[in-house]
Amino acid sequence: MSRSWWALCRRLGLIVLGAALLGWFAGRVLLALLIAVAGCLAWQLWQLYRFDRWLQDDKDVDPPRAGLIWEGVVSRIDRLRRRNRKRKRKLGRLLEQFQQATAALPDAAVILGDDDKMVWCNEASQRLLGLVPGRDIGLPVTNLLRHPGFVAFLTRQHQGDSVEFPSPVGDGLALNARIVPYGKKRRLLLATDITRVRRLEQMRQDFIANVSHELRTPLTVVIGYLETLLDSDSPALEAWRQPLRGMRQQAGRMLHIIEDLLMLARLEAQKDRTPGKPVAVPAMLVDIADDAIALSGDQGHRINLMAEPGLWILGCGKELRSAFSNVVFNAVRYTPAGGKIEIRWYADEGGIRLAVEDDGEGIAPQHIPRLSERFYRVNRDRSRGSGGTGLGLSIVKHVLNNHGGQLRISSELGKGSLFVCEFPAELRVEPSTAFARNETGSRW
């Protein structure tokens, strides 16, 4: 027990003893004791009352100072209060700095609480998302940002994902949003203005599409003249026959590149596509396999096709033909004469797949992630020599993306490669329904 408590007990003891003595002299011990105890109680109650007023920050009331106990309690509370005030001031300064920093942020930041209700937002979110703190705090963010892509993203969101959507403010603003979960059921919505990036991207796409388009006509004319000259029997052209053939071949290559670039531009420009039209993939693969045999010519590749009959999908026939041909023809071009190529079209629990496997030259692992980049080639001369443009797998990737699918590549140098085009199972369509759908006249 502390000294102050001992002193209080001593003082109480003395008062009780004094009262008992006085009472004894007066012959009223009990009454004297009662008066003494009641006096002590009243005194302590008075101190407690002052203490309570002082705690309530009543400036007119002094804190109770009587007795070591009260002094100790008051000075301890006073210390706690001062420490608290200091901490409050520090927190206030921190909050001010945080608000200044978030106000300077070019990105919109919104804190979402339970049921994705808005808890707080910074200044940029007013400019980019049209949010007004005074009006919108406490409302579900999906009531404020109603773009279907954003709403779907918010519900099915995976870590690291992001979504692009137009700003509700308009002005052609394009936004990219991410969600970062933190704390207890809290999420931070971050939205970045990507209008400039999208505009540059659009300019690049338009530029490539326009240049390709402008080059195609003159090139077709040049090819026409070269073919006329090559068809001519004039003896004056005899010495020029070889260079003319070279020119015809190179012009043909240029036209091929231009056509691939135009196809890529078309694929990139397609957004919000309709589900498409039923495509009879097995029959298409029979045609492609025949073309692959023709391409192989006297190299004698063994080409096997195993296609699940009746496995049709919804999509764009022209694009799918282009993608599948690219993968199959690559297998022929990068597999030495006599090599084996297997084409399998099947459905399993993971979806619908076209697998093209060869036992050709294979690809070193460091090249695999970059194969679908434009003009990326493992061996430039080898690709050119076999008539490649370096755009084939890029086209394949875009076609598959447009169909909700993806391309998977596995390969081992010197052993062969496996290219798998994967499609979601929902694209499957029964051939009988397909005919009915054909008649309804779909977009493709």
Q: Is 257 in the site for ligand ADP (CB under 6 A)?
A: no
Answer for which of 187, 301, 377, 397 binds ligand ADP (CB under 6 A) is 377
Answer for which of 47, 167, 296, 383 binds ligand ADP (CB under 6 A) is 383
CB of 151 to ligand ADP, least distance (A): 37
Q: Rounded CA gap, 280 and 352, in Å?
A: 14
For residue 373, give the nearest of 389, 393, 388, 387 by alpha carbon. 393
Footprint (CB under 6 A) of ligand ADP, residues 85-114: none
Angular region, 343: left φ>0, alpha ψ -120 to 50, beta rest = beta
Coil, helix or strand for 304? Answer: strand
Query: Could you tell me which residues come within 8 angstroms of residue 176 by beta carbon, excluding any fewer than 6 positions away?
Result: 162, 163, 164, 191, 192, 194
Q: Is 334 in the site for ligand ADP (CB under 6 A)?
A: yes
Of the two residues 164 and 422, which places its CB atom closer to ligand ADP in the complex? 422
CB of 222 to ligand ADP, least distance (A): 22
Contact mark string toward ligand ADP, 110..139, x via CB under 6 A? ------------------------------
Answer for which of 74, 177, 371, 429 binds ligand ADP (CB under 6 A) is 371
Answer for which of 69, 190, 378, 420 binds ligand ADP (CB under 6 A) is 378
Q: Is 339 in the site for ligand ADP (CB under 6 A)?
A: no
Which residues are paired to 279 by β-bridges? 313
Q: Is 392 in the site for ligand ADP (CB under 6 A)?
A: yes
Of the two residues 18 and 336, which places its CB atom closer to ligand ADP in the complex? 336
Answer for which of 263, 292, 352, 393 binds ligand ADP (CB under 6 A) is 393
Which token pair is 236? 């004056």
- Spatial contact of 189 and 209, defined as CB atoms under 8 Å apart: no
Answer for which of 67, 130, 275, 390 binds ligand ADP (CB under 6 A) is 390
CB of 358 to ligand ADP, least distance (A): 5
Q: Is 388 in the site for ligand ADP (CB under 6 A)?
A: yes
Q: Is 402 in the site for ligand ADP (CB under 6 A)?
A: no
- In what order do the strands lie in the sheet containing 277-279? 277-279, 312-315, 428-429
Q: Is 331 in the site for ligand ADP (CB under 6 A)?
A: yes
Residue 258: Cβ-neighbour burial (10 angstroms; 0-12, 13-18, 19+) = buried
From the list 43-51, 107-115, 189-197, 390-398, the region that binds ligand ADP by CB under 6 A is 390-398
Footprint (CB under 6 A) of ligand ADP, residues 347-366: 358, 360-361, 363
- Spatial contact of 356 and 227, defined as CB atoms under 8 Å apart: no
CB of 301 to ligand ADP, least distance (A): 12
Answer for which of 167, 212, 296, 330 binds ligand ADP (CB under 6 A) is 330
Of the two residues 316 and 331, which places its CB atom closer to ligand ADP in the complex? 331
Number of chain residues interacting with ligand ADP (CB under 6 A)? 21
CB of 359 to ligand ADP, least distance (A): 10
Query: Could you tell me which residues come within 8 angstroms of residue 33 by beta carbon, excluding any fewer than 6 positions away?
Result: 16, 19, 20, 23
Give CA separation, 294 vs 57, 289, 330, 345, 389, in Å.
Answer: 97, 9, 14, 21, 20
Q: Is 324 in the site for ligand ADP (CB under 6 A)?
A: no
What is the number of residues in the chain? 444
From the list 55-63, 206-214, 315-323, 373-381, the region that binds ligand ADP by CB under 6 A is 373-381
Cα atoms found within 13 Å of the Cα of residue 431, Cβ hemisphere only: 8
**CA-CA-CA-CA torsion sign (159, 143, 273, 267):** negative
For residue 359, give the nearest of 303, 307, 407 by alpha carbon. 303
Q: How many CB atoms lie within 10 A of CB 102?
A: 17
Contact mark string toward ligand ADP, 173..202, x via CB under 6 A? ------------------------------
Which token pair is 280? 């009879």
Q: Kind and range of the H or E element at 165?
A: strand 162-166
Q: Is 292 in the site for ligand ADP (CB under 6 A)?
A: no
CB of 363 to ligand ADP, least distance (A): 5
Footprint (CB under 6 A) of ligand ADP, residues 405-424: 417
For residue 178, give the nearest of 170, 169, 187, 167 by alpha carbon. 187
For tokens 């039209």, the residue is 277
Q: Which residues bind ligand ADP (CB under 6 A)?
A: 326, 330-331, 334, 358, 360-361, 363, 371, 377-379, 383, 388-394, 417
